[in-house]
């Protein structure tokens, strides 16, 4: 803690005109940002309260990024368009305790926070993300080449993404939600969308709280010659989703689900009444999970697709029961550990 305060003080001294050698860019709650050399930039007409401009400048100048917080109520970054992290490699990004408020988009299906290709990126977000629209609050979608190892193609690998809280409040969740009139089977309405149109492997995704949406964590069925494999995913409190808490694979029965493999999940799901805890279409995964009917009866605790093979399930509690291929003896079957 003392070291962090010294570093932050050093950066603020640099903002007052003294030399600062801190190797990161600092975005302040008023939408201005400070570079290590003491330069202060004040973006005009920003639709993201300086966030997008700070991200772009940090990437351009090869700097790490720190977004200042304070508390969720008084430190708010209002965003009326998506905030996009371009391809990054070897980057540290940290958000303090603030609110990123996504609302007023021209296209209501656009996501809030978007990540392109990443390698050795370490993203730590103590802010809460509040999304008022009709799509995904956070999207992981590698589409463009990495800035250094461009020969590997678009990808997301060897990176960590940690989030404190993501709230999709355009669905009827407790206290803060709205009845947005969205069909509950529209899986594009989600807290987290992971789209392996290009490979996403060996990353760590951690979410302390995911509130609302139709789906909490949605991993799409991979595109051909792509995959989502050997990742670690944690959802400490995935709750009040209208369709399901976790969906691994979006196309039932698809042979492409074979590229959803070897992922490790640790999740606690408490979906809305009539929803399911987890819908699983991948294979050879390791699941440590529990599903709780906190507000009313569920459709199922666990639904296993025909493509879900050789998954190992360590279940602490399961309300709603399960359906699918479970057998300790049959080859290729899923099993409870």
What are 276-328's pLDDT values in tens digits?
Answer: 999 999 999 999 999 999 999 999 999 999 999 999 999 989 999 999 988 77
Give yes or no: residues 187 and 250 share one domain. Answer: yes
- Domain boundary among the residues 30, 45, 67 is at 67
> Within this chain, do residues 55 and 80 fall inside the same structural domain, yes or no?
no
In this structure, the answer to whether residues 12 and 131 fall within a common structural domain is: no
Q: Which run of H or E residues covers position 327?
A: none
Q: Are residues 200 and 292 in the same domain?
A: yes
222 and 314 co-located in one domain: yes
What residue numbers bound the domain in which 18 lies? Answer: 1-67
Proportion of the chain above pLDDT 70, given as a percent: 92
Contact status, residue 293 vs residue 267, Cβ threshold 8 Å: no
Select from 167, 186, 187, 188 the least CA-distant residue to 178. 167
Last residue of a domain, one of 50, 67, 84: 67
132 and 95, same structural domain?
Answer: yes
- Determine, yes or no, domain membership for 335: no
Quote the mean pLDDT of the chain.
92
| Residue 149 within any structural domain of the chain | yes
Does residue 119 lie in a domain region?
yes
Eight-class DSSP state of 283: B
Residue 326, in any domain of the structure:
yes
Answer yes or no: are the C-beta atoms of 200 and 194 closer than 8 Å. Answer: yes
Alpha-carbon gap, residue 21 to 326, rounded angstroms: 58
Task: Look at residues 19, 47, 67 and tell me which one is the last residue of a structural domain.
Answer: 67
Q: Are residues 306 and 219 in the same domain?
A: yes
Q: Are residues 9 and 125 in the same domain?
A: no
Is residue 125 domain-shared with residue 205, that is, in the same domain? yes
Is 139 within the bounds of a domain? yes
Residues 207 and 253 in one domain: yes
Structure tokens at 248: 């691994």
Using CB atoms within 10 A of its CB, is residue 111 exposed (0-12), middle (13-18) or buried (19+)? buried
Total count of domains within the chain? 2
Q: What is the pTM of this model?
A: 0.92
Tens-digit pLDDT profile for the chain (337 aa)?
333 433 444 444 444 443 445 679 999 999 999 999 999 999 999 999 999 999 999 999 999 999 999 999 999 999 999 999 999 999 999 999 999 999 999 999 999 999 999 999 999 999 999 999 999 999 999 999 999 999 999 999 999 999 999 999 998 877 676 777 789 999 999 999 999 999 999 999 999 999 999 999 999 999 999 999 999 999 999 999 999 999 999 999 999 999 999 999 999 999 999 999 999 999 999 999 999 999 999 999 999 999 999 999 999 899 999 999 887 778 788 999 8
Please check whether residues 148 and 220 belong to one and the same domain.
yes
What pLDDT, on the 0 to 100 scale, is given for residue 4? 41
Distance (Å, whole) CA 113 – CA 185:
23
Whether 166 and 266 map to the same domain: the answer is yes
Q: How far apart are the first and last CA of the chain?
A: 41
- What is the per-residue DSSP string for 173-212? -TTT-------TT-TTSEEEEE--SS-EES-EEEEEEEEE
- Asked whether residue 336 is domain-assigned, the answer is no
């Amino acid at each position: 803690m003392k070291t962090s305060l010294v570093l932050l003080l050093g950066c603020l001294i640099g903002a007052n005109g003294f030399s600062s050698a801190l190797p990161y860019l600092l975005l302040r709650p008023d939408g201005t940002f400070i570079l290590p050399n003491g330069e202060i930039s004040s973006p005009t007409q920003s639709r993201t309260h300086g966030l997008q401009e700070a991200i772009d400048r940090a990437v351009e100048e090869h700097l790490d990024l720190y977004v200042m917080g304070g508390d969720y109520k008084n430190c708010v970054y209002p965003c009326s368009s998506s905030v996009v992290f371009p391809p990054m490699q070897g980057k540290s990004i940290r958000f303090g305790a603030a609110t990123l408020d996504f609302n007023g988009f021209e296209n209501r299906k656009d996501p809030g926070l978007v990540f392109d290709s990443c390698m050795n990126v370490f993203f730590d977000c103590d802010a809460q993300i509040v999304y008022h629209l009709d799509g995904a609050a956070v999207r992981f979608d590698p589409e463009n080449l990495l800035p250094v190892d461009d020969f590997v193609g678009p990808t997301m690998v060897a990176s960590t993404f940690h989030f404190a809280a993501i709230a999709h409040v355009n669905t009827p969740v407790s206290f803060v939600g709205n009845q947005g009139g969205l069909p509950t089977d529209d899986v594009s309405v989600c807290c987290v969308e992971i789209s392996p149109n290009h490979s996403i492997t060996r990353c760590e995704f951690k979410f302390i709280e995911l509130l609302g949406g139709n789906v909490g964590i949605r991993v799409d069925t991979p595109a051909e010659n792509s995959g989502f494999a050997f990742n670690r995913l944690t959802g400490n409190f995935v709750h009040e989703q209208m369709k399901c808490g976790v969906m691994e694979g979006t196309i039932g029965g698809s042979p492409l689900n074979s590229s959803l493999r070897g992922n490790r999940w640790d999740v606690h799901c408490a979906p809305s009444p009539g929803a399911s805890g987890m819908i699983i279409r991948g294979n050879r995964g390791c699941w440590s999970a529990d599903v709780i009917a906190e507000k009313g009866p569920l459709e199922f605790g666990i639904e296993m697709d025909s493509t879900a093979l050789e998954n190992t399930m360590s279940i602490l509690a399961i309300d709603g029961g399960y359906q699918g291929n479970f057998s300790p003896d049959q080859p290729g079957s899923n099993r409870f550990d």
